[in-house]
């Protein structure tokens, strides 16, 4: 059946639900065009990439039907399921260790297990490794840590773990898996070493670079990737979204902090809203849905952006979005010929992000408000809070630092704080909850800090030059000395005891069934 109009669900949310983006069939061709530019750029910098394979951990996510019968799925799921990906003609530059069947398996354990197994079996052929985002790649390494015994057993005997039940996955893997006791011994020895430093270069010795996005919030994963890869180049090849694909990095071996993307002008009509910084922060706490008249007049075209200036990206797409604010802030780094190159600065308003989740300050505030009701029976009040995206754990998790004022005499049992953790998780958006359920994000943690901690935080900020009048407790902290200060005053640590509820599809659609 020819579907002329599809819906993509983005990881951005509106009212707690995934945003739905219109798209059209021909858009897949445009997106494939952008993908086809990546390897020519890459092979200018790294020769010989056609002599081996890429080990990429790629996954699909579940899809839903709108009440009108349209399929709504995440953009990458839509791409991997399309003929552009599935039936791509043989090309030595898009030769992956993962058979399509392992990528197209909805069960995340079976998909990850089989992709890892195929990657290990072909370890000498692997020239590049990666995933879409850094968080996904690190999750794959953690998966290997947990499941290496099973994986080695399969490689030793040439038989596949019975937990892999999907027949098409089994068939595809069995074409690659051959008994190889020597390889199994080698992997076992490497995985049982105490230190996993350089594990990527040890197990896949011909790897030339790690292909993952580490710009934006994903930069928090750079130290972990450097550790596992022994400092291999981290390559960010492209910048894209559900709304539209944007551009490519024409200097892929540059340092992550210097990555810039050149927008491909025929992906959409690009316009730019100049941004005025206010005290180092970006104006406006809640993102306006559409541009007002004054803002429409301020828009500049791609050819008119100025080096050094920051802009909010606005797109008009072939699928029908008109002057749509993507929500990303870009900085003009320079030009490649006449085409401007942009550094990704940040996403407006996002305070916390571990994987594809994007939590803004308002959402966090509401979630905390819902949670503190559990403290009422103890006559305890939350006086201050802040948050931190802790990526030292794998998967990473949200940490909230709470300072309390307790008037009641009954001590608050840990189970109450655990209830608070879960209440926050239940209040966060659908993308967060889905990531929790599929274990891309770990259980949320509330750390109770000593009374007076947030005063110390303010003293510290003032010592660094903040103005007392304008000081506001940051709702999210990133700066290491501040995180250390908070951690040095923790009196108790509490984790969410279980996953929050999540079901695929929109709430309204589920109600209709
Ligand atoms: P989604 O619509 O869920 O695919 O999310 C798209 C968003 O992910 C973009 O608007 C950016 O905020 C972020 N993103 C995508 N590619 C990059 C990149 N290369 N660097 C930084 N952030 C990115």
pLDDT of residue 151: 98
Q: Which residue bears the tokens 């690009």?
A: 270
Q: How many alpha carbons lie under 13 Å from residue 158 in its C-beta half-sphere?
A: 7
Q: Which two tokens stand for residue 2?
A: 């020819």
* Cα 10 to ligand 1 centre (Å): 10
Distance (Å, whole) CA 208 – CA 167: 34
Residue 132 near ligand 1, beta carbon < 6 Å: no
Residue 242 near ligand 1, beta carbon < 6 Å: yes
What is the arithmetic mean of pLDDT over 127-136? 93
Residue 236 near ligand 1, beta carbon < 6 Å: yes
At residue 500, does pLDDT exceed 80?
Answer: yes
pLDDT of residue 185: 98
pLDDT of residue 40: 96
Residue 21 near ligand 1, beta carbon < 6 Å: no
Lowest mean pLDDT among 78-92, 123-137, 203-217, 285-299: 285-299
Lowest mean pLDDT among 118-122, 300-304, 370-374, 459-463: 459-463
**359 close to 352: Cβ distance less than 8 angstroms:** yes
Taking the CA of residue 21 as reference, the ligand 1 atom at the shortest distance is 2
Taking the CA of residue 218 as reference, the ligand 1 atom at the shortest distance is 21
Q: Considering the entire predicted model, what is its pTM?
A: 0.84
Sort residue 323 into left (φ over 0), alpha (ψ -120 to 50) or beta: left
What is the arithmetic mean of pLDDT over 428-434? 94
Residue 135 near ligand 1, beta carbon < 6 Å: no
Task: Give the phi and the psi of residue 155 in degrees, each rounded to 5.
Answer: -70, -40
Residue 213 near ligand 1, beta carbon < 6 Å: yes
| Residue 8 or 419, more confident | 419
Sign of the dihedral defined by the CA atoms of residues 421, 426, 432, 435, in that order? positive
What is the overall mean pLDDT for the chain? 91
Task: Give the phi and the psi of residue 134 in degrees, each rounded to 5.
Answer: -55, -40
| Residue 416 or 217, more confident | 416
**63 close to 8: Cβ distance less than 8 angstroms:** no
* Cα 243 to ligand 1 centre (Å): 10
Summarize pLDDT for 212-235 with one digit per residue, the tens. 999 988 888 899 999 999 999 999
What is the arithmetic mean of pLDDT over 184-202? 97
Taking the CA of residue 11 as reference, the ligand 1 atom at the shortest distance is 3
* Cα 437 to ligand 1 centre (Å): 22
Q: Which two tokens stand for residue 190?
A: 């490497």
Distance (Å, whole) CA 421 – CA 424: 5
Residue 435 near ligand 1, beta carbon < 6 Å: no
* Cα 397 to ligand 1 centre (Å): 20
Summarize pLDDT for 282-303 with one digit per residue, the tens. 444 344 468 888 888 999 999 9
Residue 114 near ligand 1, beta carbon < 6 Å: no
Pocket test for ligand 1, best of 134, 239, 355 (most atoms within 8 A of CB): 239
* Residue 451: CB atoms within 10 Å: 13
Nearest to 10 by CA among 84, 72, 70, 69: 72
Summarize pLDDT for 171-192 with one digit per residue, the tens. 999 999 999 999 999 999 999 9
Q: If you take atom 19 of ligand 1, which residue's CA is the nearest one? A: 239
Residue 328 near ligand 1, beta carbon < 6 Å: yes
How many residues comprise the chain?
513
Residue 364 near ligand 1, beta carbon < 6 Å: no
Q: If you take atom 13 of ligand 1, which residue's CA is the nearest one? A: 241
Lowest mean pLDDT among 4-8, 420-424, 474-478: 4-8
* Cα 312 to ligand 1 centre (Å): 13
């Amino acid at each position: 059946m020819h579907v002329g109009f599809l819906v993509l669900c983005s990881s951005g949310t509106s009212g707690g639900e995934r945003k739905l983006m219109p798209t059209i069939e021909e858009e897949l061709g445009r997106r494939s065009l952008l993908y086809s530019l990546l390897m020519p750029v890459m092979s200018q910098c790294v020769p010989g990439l056609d002599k081996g394979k890429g080990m990429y951990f790629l996954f699909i996510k579940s899809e839903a039907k709108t009440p009108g019968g349209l399929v709504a799925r995440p953009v990458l799921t839509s791409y991997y399921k399309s003929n552009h990906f599935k039936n791509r003609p043989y090309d030595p530059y898009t030769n992956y260790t993962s058979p399509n069947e392992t990528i197209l398996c909805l069960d995340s354990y079976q998909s990850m297990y089989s992709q890892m197994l195929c990657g290990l079996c072909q370890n000498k052929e692997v020239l590049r490794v990666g995933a879409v985002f850094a968080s996904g790649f690190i999750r794959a390494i953690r998966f290997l840590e947990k499941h290496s015994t099973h994986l080695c057993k399969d490689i030793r005997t040439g038989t596949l773990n019975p937990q892999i039940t999907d027949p098409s996955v089994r068939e595809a893997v069995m074409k690659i898996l051959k008994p190889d006791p020597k390889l199994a011994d080698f992997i076992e020895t490497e995985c049982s070493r105490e230190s996993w430093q350089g594990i990527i270069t040890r197990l896949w010795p011909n790897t030339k670079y790690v292909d993952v996005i580490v710009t934006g919030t994903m930069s928090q994963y750079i130290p972990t990737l450097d550790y596992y890869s022994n400092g291999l180049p981290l390559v960010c090849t492209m910048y894209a979204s559900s709304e539209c694909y944007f551009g490519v990095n024409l200097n892929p071996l540059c340092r992550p902090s210097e990555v810039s993307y050149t927008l491909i002008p025929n992906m959409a009509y690009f316009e730019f809203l100049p941004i005025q910084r206010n005290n180092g922060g970006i104006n406006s706490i809640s993102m306006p849905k559409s541009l007002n008249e004054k803002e429409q007049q301020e828009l500049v075209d791609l050819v008119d952006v100025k080096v050094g200036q920051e802009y909010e990206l606005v797109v008009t797409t072939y699928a029908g979005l008109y002057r749509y604010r993507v929500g990303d802030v870009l900085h003009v780094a320079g030009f490649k010929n006449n085409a401007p190159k942009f550094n990704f600065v940040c996403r407006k308003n996002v305070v916390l992000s571990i994987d594809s989740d994007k939590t803004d300050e308002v959402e966090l505030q509401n979630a905390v408000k819902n949670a503190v009701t559990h403290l009422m029976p103890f006559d305890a009040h939350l006086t201050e809070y802040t948050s931190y995206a802790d990526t030292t754990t794998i998967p990473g998790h949200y940490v909230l630092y709470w300072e309390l004022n307790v008037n009641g005499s009954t001590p608050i049992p840990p189970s109450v704080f655990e209830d608070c953790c879960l209440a926050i998780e239940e209040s966060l958006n659908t993308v967060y909850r889905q990531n929790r359920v599929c274990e891309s994000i770990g259980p949320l943690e509330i750390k109770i800090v000593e009374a007076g901690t947030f005063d110390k935080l303010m003293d510290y900020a003032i010592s660094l030059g903040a103005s007392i009048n304008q000081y506001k407790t940051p709702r999210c902290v990133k700066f290491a000395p501040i995180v250390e200060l908070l951690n040095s005053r923790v009196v108790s640590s509490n984790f969410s005891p279980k996953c929050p509820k999540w079901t695929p599809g929109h709430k309204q659609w589920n109600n209709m069934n």
